[in-house]
């Protein structure tokens, strides 16, 4: 009986070290989140899949609005990142996010496996030519885990800050609420 209690106690103490619980509408340990992120994804799309978005058609309105503190204009919401880049999500397209540099040139597109407001979901990022860049497991609107092509974690978004493995801030964002 003593042996059983010692074994159970040892297992109980080891559990916190074995799993990181991600909070959202579901619970995942770190490995399950990584597996879910990379399950059945396309590593490449056609080179012209995003051709209509290679340049932000509303660049002046979007960038000027973001710089003056706006996060939404007409049919789209926007996010401004600390490096000057920005993202656009069109209200009639809940499966894509478009990211532009400071001159309005597309550098990344997120393709979501569920609408952006259904959690958890996966987001796979491609460059403007359709080549895989990274993948994100979106736990909730406040938490996301970003992985590179080798399935290594690049960053962990909590609210509006992205952190590396050591807790250093990699980037900040200002987005529509």
- What DSSP element (H or E) covers 88? strand 86-90
First-to-last C-alpha distance (Å) of the chain: 55
CA pair distance 165, 43, nearest whole angstrom? 25
Please report the pLDDT score of residue 21 as a whole number. 40
Q: Which residues contact 74 (CB under 8 A, 6 or more apart)?
A: none
At residue 29 the predicted structure's pLDDT band, cuts being 50, 70 and 90, is: low
pLDDT digits (tens, 9 = 90+) for 5-16: 333 333 333 333
For the whole model, what pTM was predicted? Answer: 0.79
Give the residue extent of every domain in the chain. 2-175
Q: Which two tokens stand for residue 77?
A: 């919401």
Task: Say if residue 109's pLDDT is above 90.
Answer: yes
Q: Which residues contact 19 (CB under 8 A, 6 or more apart)?
A: 29, 30
pLDDT digits (tens, 9 = 90+) for 50-59: 899 999 999 9
123 forms bridges with which residues in the sheet? 112, 136
Please provide the average confidence, as pLDDT, over all residues in the chain: 81
**Of 5 and 142, which is predicted with more confidence?**
142
Please report the pLDDT score of residue 71 as a whole number. 87
Overall average pLDDT of the 14-39 stretch: 55
Sign for the CA dihedral angle at 91, 40, 163, 25 comes to positive
What number of H helices and E strands is found in the chain?
3, 11
Q: Which residues contact 123 (CB under 8 A, 6 or more apart)?
A: 97, 110, 111, 112, 113, 135, 136, 138, 144
Task: Say if residue 22's pLDDT is above 80.
Answer: no
pLDDT digits (tens, 9 = 90+) for 118-131: 999 999 999 999 99
CA 22 to chain centre: 14
């Amino acid at each position: 009986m003593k042996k059983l209690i010692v074994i159970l106690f040892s297992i109980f103490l080891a559990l916190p070290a074995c799993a990181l619980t991600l909070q959202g509408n579901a619970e995942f340990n770190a490995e399950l989140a990584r597996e879910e992120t990379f399950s059945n994804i396309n590593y490449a799309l056609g080179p012209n899949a995003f051709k209509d978005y290679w340049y932000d058609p509303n660049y002046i309105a979007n960038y000027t609005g973001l710089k003056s503190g706006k996060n939404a204009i007409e049919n789209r919401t926007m996010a401004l990142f600390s490096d000057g880049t920005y993202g656009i999500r069109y209200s009639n397209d809940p499966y894509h996010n478009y990211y532009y540099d400071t001159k309005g040139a597309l550098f990344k597109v997120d393709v979501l496996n569920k609408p952006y407001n259904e959690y958890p979901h996966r987001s796979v990022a491609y460059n403007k030519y359709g080549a895989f860049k990274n993948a994100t497991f979106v736990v909730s609107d406040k938490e996301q885990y970003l992985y590179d092509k080798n399935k290594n974690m690049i960053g962990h978004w909590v609210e509006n800050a992205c952190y590396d493995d050591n807790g250093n801030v990699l980037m900040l964002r200002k987005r529509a609420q």
